[in-house]
Amino acid sequence: MTELLVNDDHRRAVEALRGSYDAIPAGTPVRLAKKTSNLFRWRDPSDAPGLDVSGFDKVLSVDPETRTAQVQGMTTYEDLVAATLPHGLMPTVVPQLKTITLGGAVTGLGIESTSFRLGLPHEAVLEMEVLTGDGRVVVATKDNEHRDLFYGFPNSYGTLGYSLRLKIELIETKPYVKVRHLRFDDAAELSRAMAEITESGTFEGETVDFMDGTVFSAGEQYISLGFFTDTAPYASDYTGQQIYYRSIQQRAVDFLTVHDYLWRWDTDWFWCSGAFGVQHPIVRRVWPDKAKRSDVYRRLVAYDRRYQFVARVERWRGLRPREDVIQDIEVPVERLPEFLEFFHAKVGMSPIWLCPLRARETWPLYPLEPGRTYVNAGFWGTVRLPMGQIPEYHNRLIEREVAALDGHKSLYSTSFYSRDDFWRHYDGETYQRLKEGYDPDGRLLDLYDKCVRGR
């Protein structure tokens, strides 16, 4: 199919979507009818009609000469990478999980191991076509009449509108990635090394293309550096019996195809597949490879969340309840040792994923200082509640500590801010101005109501 025909299909999909949007009665909450989600703000199923965006899941074009792509908003990164890699190209930042959508990563933020040099996914967007809350379809760029929406869209979580099409920058790849795992026994030493590599972009004279980290304990932590390479003596496979995060402790140097490097975390949902027994050698052998995917595990979690199987068994055994601690936060790199010390003492969960980043510009709803090095810490699991503590005990502790360290937390999971604190952290003045301009009747949820109150 030619690009022209695909774009004709896109235009027809836009018109159909506008008709569906207009048909939703005034006062009815508007939500997307999605088959998958990477959010962990649990809410009860709703009978409200969902907006069908199933026609917006395609890569419209890839232009190797300009290194750009035109992509619909509901396109998954799995499909986007599959379309760009044959051209020797990839998105500037590829979030870790295959079913994250491009539109979701832009409106809800995303991060990965190129973020220390290329920022966040929305910083590669050249233009975006958005269905706004007032029913218009507008094209926003950095310098047109909708530049306020362009800069305010990241971290708005679909409360200003939905991205229908995005034009994004791509970067060149090579067939393989050489990975070096550097061990550190001290968080301060690790933080200094991350800051230095981010600043210079090199390690031992070699240009670094990727960087993230893994904390197994206070005395065992690693920085993993990735280097594009044309050849490799071998290519490790972590989609079968072997487990990627365990290799970090076992191998100082490793090689993966660029495809397998980009999806190295998805097979075991970082390390969370262990909760389903998938890391046990016998279970792993019989568990189908095609089901070793983050979206499969996510559906299992959602199923248990709905029916409370594990919680019922633990209550029957007389065990204290567990609290879901599923968060990504950012703190300035120099404050990372303080955060890790707090986390080890008060939460005690491991491993912890680390990812350094630098924002290239100012994005008001997630106000990171451009050019300043931050480190994302990601932790996903459950922790036994101390005797007599409220169910949100650990999450509230984390939220307060991150604020005290001049950090931010992602809003894909549970939050507990007061309304005033929330808008202080996420620029309520700018948000309200955007809401009045693009959703004056409040057809879409308010950001605070959606991300904190869980409506």
Q: Give dist(CA 323, CA 316) in Å, integer.
A: 17
- The C-alpha atoms of residue 251 and residue 179 are separated, in whole angstroms, by 9
3-class secondary structure, 213 = strand
**What residues pair up with 408 in beta bridges, in sequence order?**
330
User: Residue 247 corresponds to which amino acid?
Assistant: S
Question: Is the Cβ–Cβ distance between 85 and 258 less than 8 Å?
Answer: yes
Q: Distance between CA 303 and CA 110 in Å, rounded?
A: 25
Strand partners, 257: 176
Query: What does the pLDDT read at residue 54?
Result: 79
Phi/psi at 142 (nearest 5 deg)? Answer: -65, -20
The CA-atom distances, in angstroms, between 430 and each of 106, 114, 424 are 18, 29, 11
Give the chain's domains with CATH numbers. Answer: 3-173+435-451 (3.30.465.10), 308-416 (3.30.70)
For the chain, first and last CA: distance in Å?
41
What are 320's two structure tokens? 């204290």
Whether residue 125 contacts residue 166, with contact meaning beta carbons closer than 8 Å, is answered with yes
Determine the pLDDT at residue 37: 58
Residues listed for the chain: 455
Q: What residues pair up with 378 in beta bridges, in sequence order?
A: 328, 353
Q: What is the pLDDT of residues 213-250, one digit of tens each?
A: 999 999 999 999 999 999 999 999 999 999 999 999 99
And the tokens for 78? Answer: 């799995």
Position 235 scores a pLDDT of 98
Is the pLDDT at 408 greater than 50? The verdict is: yes
Residue 96, pLDDT score: 92
| pLDDT recorded at residue 45 | 53
Cα separation, 406 vs 367, in Å, equals: 11
Q: Which amino acid is at 54?
A: S
Where does 209-295 show beta strands of DSSP type E? 210-217, 220-229, 253-257
Confidence of residue 5 (pLDDT cuts 50, 70, 90): very low
* Token output for 205: 């004279």
β-pairing, 31-33 vs 50-52, is parallel
| Contact between residue 405 and residue 338 where contact means Cβ atoms under 8 Å apart | yes
Q: Which residues pair with 170 in a beta bridge?
A: 91
Percent of the chain with pLDDT over 90: 78
What sign for the dihedral angle of Cα 29, 32, 33, 35? negative
In this model, does residue 358 exceed pLDDT 60? yes
**pTM of the predicted structure, to 2 decimals:** 0.93
CA dist list (Å): 324 to 45, 214, 327, 349:
19, 20, 9, 11
Model confidence band, residue 92 (pLDDT cutoffs 50, 70, 90): very high
Tell me the CB-side half-sphere exposure of residue 455, using CA atoms within 13 A.
12
Residue 49, pLDDT above cutoff 70? no
Question: For all residues of the chain together, what is the average pLDDT?
Answer: 92
Percent of the chain clearing pLDDT 70 (strictly above) = 94
Residue 28 clears pLDDT 90, i.e. is over it: no
pLDDT at residue 202 tops 80: yes
What's the pLDDT tens digit per position in 315-324?
A: 777 777 888 9
Instruction: Pinpoint the alpha helices (H) of 52-186.
Output: 77-84, 102-108, 115-118, 147-152
